[in-house]
């Protein structure tokens, strides 16, 4: 089995009970480890992440430890950086053994080809966001940020994320339609020109399983903060699922 999950936003200051949130994610990993061969973490797993050369963000001990356990037991874990955890460098690879991707990738499972991307860099229409992304991906900006003491840097990162998410919560979890969803627009064009079977994304915090031409499918995974959803590929088919007790914790943000 191949499992897909995105947008957990661990550490977000909009989450009421961060320990309970982390435990829910660890419990999910315990659930899927029984038959998982591969786990794809498709971006924004952390609400903010910056690795100083000798310092990483405080917390997430149970989650990171569980990932290490799964890797040690032979499960391959791929970590795709999102727009909230861009600044992951080599810690996950060296300390946990995950395979880190800083951009889209195409993989094959069960004879099916998967195009995988977080999705944040696919909107060519949002010029302001593209400028911010360019700055965040700049090596110069990363080196300058390292000059900020970790306590101040982490505080800035989490507060910036909180303000930004408050601005966009009104459009998250709302499907805008095929002609307005920038991920769908991109995916249709990409599928028409490339040999892929599934195109899987995160970022938008919506659940979507859309049939494109030639039986190709466009998937958006939802999130693990309000929908508590994930994807499963069993070697033949892909399906979206939600954890059983998701309804009672459907609103995590305050």
pLDDT in tens, 5-34: 999 999 888 888 989 999 999 999 999 999
| Least trusted range by pLDDT, from 78-92, 122-136, 168-182 | 122-136
- Domain contains 55: yes
Reading the block at residue 59, the tokens are: 């917390």
Q: Band of the pLDDT at 84, cuts 50, 70, 90?
A: confident
CB proximity list for 17: less than 8 A, separation 6 or greater = none
User: Taking a C-beta distance cutoff of 8 angstroms, is the pair 113, 105 a contact?
Assistant: no
- Domain contains 213: yes
CA 109 to CA 118: how far, in whole Å? 19
Predicted confidence at residue 156, as pLDDT, reads 57
Do strands 198-201 and 76-80 pair parallel, antiparallel, or not at all (unpaired)? unpaired
- Domain contains 202: yes
CA 172 to CA 7: how far, in whole Å? 12
Tell me the residue ranges of DSSP E strands in the chain: 2-5, 38-41, 76-80, 99-101, 105-109, 112-117, 198-201, 207-211, 217-221, 229-233, 238-242
CA distances from 221 to 20, 142, 163 (A): 21, 29, 24
Predicted confidence at residue 129, as pLDDT, reads 57
- Domain contains 103: yes
Predicted confidence at residue 81, as pLDDT, reads 93
The CATH number covering residue 44 comes to 3.60.21.10
Residue-wise pLDDT tens digits, 155-192: 656 566 666 665 455 456 688 888 889 999 999 999 99
Q: Which residue has the higher pLDDT, 152 or 76?
A: 76
Instruction: State the angle between helix axes of 61-72 and 18-32 in degrees (0 to 180), rounded to the nearest 10.
Output: 10
Do strands 238-242 and 229-233 pair parallel, antiparallel, or not at all (unpaired)? antiparallel
- How many domains is the chain built from? 1
Mean pLDDT value across residues 207-235: 94
- Domain contains 254: no
Enclosing H/E stretch for 132: helix 127-136
pTM of the model as a whole = 0.85
CB proximity list for 49: less than 8 A, separation 6 or greater = 56, 57, 84, 85, 86, 87, 88
Residue 136 phi, psi (nearest 5)? -65, -30
- Domain contains 142: yes
Range of the domain at 166: 2-249
- Domain contains 49: yes
CA 148 to CA 170: how far, in whole Å? 33
Q: Residue 117: which of 99, 130, 132, 103 has the closest Cα?
A: 103
Sign, CA torsion 200/66/96/110? negative
- Domain contains 21: yes
Reading the block at residue 96, the tokens are: 């946990």
Residue 61 phi, psi (nearest 5)? -60, -45
Reading the block at residue 51, the tokens are: 């690795």
The rounded Cα 242 to chain-centroid distance in angstroms is 16
Q: Band of the pLDDT at 72, cuts 50, 70, 90?
A: very high
């Amino acid at each position: 089995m191949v499992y897909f999950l995105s947008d957990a936003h661990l550490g977000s200051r909009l989450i009421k009970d961060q320990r309970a949130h982390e435990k829910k994610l660890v419990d999910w990993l315990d659930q899927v480890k029984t038959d998982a061969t591969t786990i794809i973490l498709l971006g924004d797993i952390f609400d903010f992440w910056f690795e100083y050369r000798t310092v990483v963000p405080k917390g997430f001990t149970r989650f990171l430890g569980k990932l290490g356990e799964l890797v040690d037991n032979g499960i391959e874990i791929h970590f795709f950086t999102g727009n909230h955890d861009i600044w992951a460098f080599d810690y996950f690879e060296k300390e946990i053994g995950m395979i880190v991707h800083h951009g889209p990738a195409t993989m094959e499972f069960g004879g099916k080809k998967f195009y995988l991307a977080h999705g944040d860099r696919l909107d060519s229409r949002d010029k302001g966001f593209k400028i911010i992304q360019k700055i965040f991906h700049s090596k110069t900006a990363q080196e300058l940020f390292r000059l900020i003491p970790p306590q101040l840097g982490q505080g800035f990162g989490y507060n910036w994320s909180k303000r930004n998410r408050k601005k966009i919560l009104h459009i998250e979890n709302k499907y805008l339609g095929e002609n307005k969803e920038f991920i769908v627009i991109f995916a249709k064009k990409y599928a028409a020109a490339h040999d892929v079977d599934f195109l899987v994304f995160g970022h938008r915090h919506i659940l979507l399983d859309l049939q494109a031409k030639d039986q190709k499918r466009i998937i958006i995974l939802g999130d693990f903060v309000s929908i508590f959803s994930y994807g499963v590929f069993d070697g033949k088919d892909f399906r979206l699922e939600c954890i059983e007790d998701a309804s009672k914790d459907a609103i995590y943000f305050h």
